[in-house]
Chains A and B, each alone.
Chain A
Amino acid sequence: MNKAGLSIALVMLGLVGCSNHPAPEEQLRLSEQALDQAKAVGASAEADELALAQDKLQQARIAFDRGKYRKARMLAEQAELDARLAEAKVLTQKRQKQLSELEQQVESLRKQLGAL
């Protein structure tokens, strides 16, 4: 029966959909690296993105251990970008801080010169 065939095909698809994916070892490694890098530039756990990254990486490892490779890969990919965004935000903040310090210094130098 055609309908039955279709149903069976759907069952197979549904089952295959969540398994049969290569183990995302490399991606887990990349995500860990991104997380370390973000911490190294001074991203703290208070940053939302870093907390997200840590949480997702942990979930990814659990999924990995249970053989749920597709889920593990997705979580790890998201964790990597969360960590990279956390890092980028810290770097932007540092630049902005440097900029406002410089502006103050230049302003103060101008005043000193103007007073002479």
Chain B
Amino acid sequence: MKQWQLNSIALLALTLLAGCSTSSSPRQALAEAKADFDAVSKLPAIQQSAEQNLHQADESLTRAERLSHYWGNGREVVHYSYLSSRYSAIAREQGAQSLAGERISGLERERARLELALHESQQLGGEPKGEWLEMQLASLASSEAGRGLVVTLGDVLFDTGRADLKPAATRSLLQVASFLRVNENRAVRIEGYSDNQGDAQQNLELSRARAQSVSAMLVDLGISPQRIQVKGYGDAHPIAENASARGRALNRRVEIVVSDEKGVLGEER
């Protein structure tokens, strides 16, 4: 065979190889896949919810990159870049789903609380007179020297170790809210307390988070946030000894301190 014949056959082979590649340039496809992966792997919600797809996006990308170092793999580079971009896109969708899912469960809890609150307030028969409310509140609250009226929400009204309020807390909070709606000048300070078990810093945070949940509920019930202060005290100011389980349960509580008629709250502890 003569040289020119061989060369033309080689040329034909090149054409065949080129025939395997697609219109999109491998370099461009690879750069796009890389950008897709970088963008999606930065999103905080993605890591857990889309671990598998993120991993596969990475793997396909690595493969495309490796293939791009060798001549004649244009079509494969485009292919694996395409797969990688798709995996990234799927991961992004999963991340969005998981974020929405979290919001949904939060809102479902809130809806349940509000429905219960609405139901209870309808049973109370509209907004009762202030005097009656004060009696109602007095039945919930205790009067403490120097602190004024204090409504205590016990540990049982929270999920264990968590700040979420149980629906059973609604009745008390509804009465506090009704009272505050009628007594427009009064304010409250919501104080969270814990027992002395475990890490002091965590206890402090949990006590504050629980107080914050109570505040959020009062706001849901139409009380202006400006009338509400929130404090976390951790294991300070126990009302019972921490030696027994019963004592500790009593210490884990949220206290709502009600101001006087002029809106003046007792001194902070």
A pairs with B: yes
Q: Find chain B residues with CB under 8 A from A84 CB.
A: 86, 90
Whether the pair B3, A4 counts as a contact (CB closer than 8 A) is yes
B87 at the interface (CB under 8 A from A): yes
B89 at the interface (CB under 8 A from A): yes
The CA-CA distance from A15 to B10 in the complex, in Å, is 11
A105 at the interface (CB under 8 A from B): yes
Closest chain A residue to B105 by CB distance? Answer: A102
The CA-CA distance from A17 to B18 in the complex, in Å, is 11
B247 at the interface (CB under 8 A from A): no
Interface contacts (Cβ under 8 Å), in number, total 114
Whether the pair B6, A18 counts as a contact (CB closer than 8 A) is no
A13 at the interface (CB under 8 A from B): yes
Q: Find chain B residues with CB under 8 A from A11 CB.
A: 9-10, 12-13
Q: Find chain B residues with CB under 8 A from A92 CB.
A: 93, 96-97, 100
Whether the pair A17, B20 counts as a contact (CB closer than 8 A) is yes
Contact A98 B12, CB 8 Å, known A81-B90, A109-B114: no
Query: In this complex, which of B7, B72, B97 has the most chain A Cβ atoms within 10 angstroms of its Cβ?
Result: B97
Q: Find chain A residues with CB under 8 A from B121 CB.
A: 113, 116
A39 at the interface (CB under 8 A from B): no
CB-contact partner of B104 in A7, A18, A99, under 8 A: A99
Contact A89 B93, CB 8 Å, known A102-B108, A113-B114: yes
Whether the pair A14, B16 counts as a contact (CB closer than 8 A) is yes
Q: Find chain B residues with CB under 8 A from A8 CB.
A: 6, 9
The CA-CA distance from A96 to B107 in the complex, in Å, is 13
The CA-CA distance from A116 to B126 in the complex, in Å, is 6
Whether the pair B16, A18 counts as a contact (CB closer than 8 A) is yes
Whether the pair A13, B13 counts as a contact (CB closer than 8 A) is yes
A30 to chain B, nearest CB (A): 13
The CA-CA distance from A98 to B103 in the complex, in Å, is 10
| 9 closest A-B pairs by CB | A14-B13, A88-B93, A81-B86, A109-B114, A95-B100, A7-B10, A114-B222, A102-B107, A14-B16
B binding-site residues for A, Cβ under 8 Å: 1, 3, 6-7, 9-10, 12-14, 16-17, 19-20, 72, 75, 79, 82-83, 86-87, 89-90, 93-94, 96-97, 100-101, 103-104, 107-108, 110-111, 114-115, 117-118, 121-122, 126-127, 220-222
A binding-site residues for B, Cβ under 8 Å: 1, 3-4, 6-8, 10-11, 13-15, 17-18, 74, 77-78, 81-82, 84-85, 88-89, 91-92, 95-96, 98-99, 102-103, 105-106, 109-110, 112-114, 116
List 22 contacting pairs A-B, 8 Å CB cutoff, sorted by A: A3-B6, A7-B6, A7-B13, A13-B72, A15-B13, A18-B16, A18-B20, A81-B82, A81-B86, A81-B90, A85-B89, A88-B90, A88-B94, A92-B96, A95-B97, A95-B101, A96-B100, A102-B108, A109-B114, A110-B114, A114-B222, A116-B121
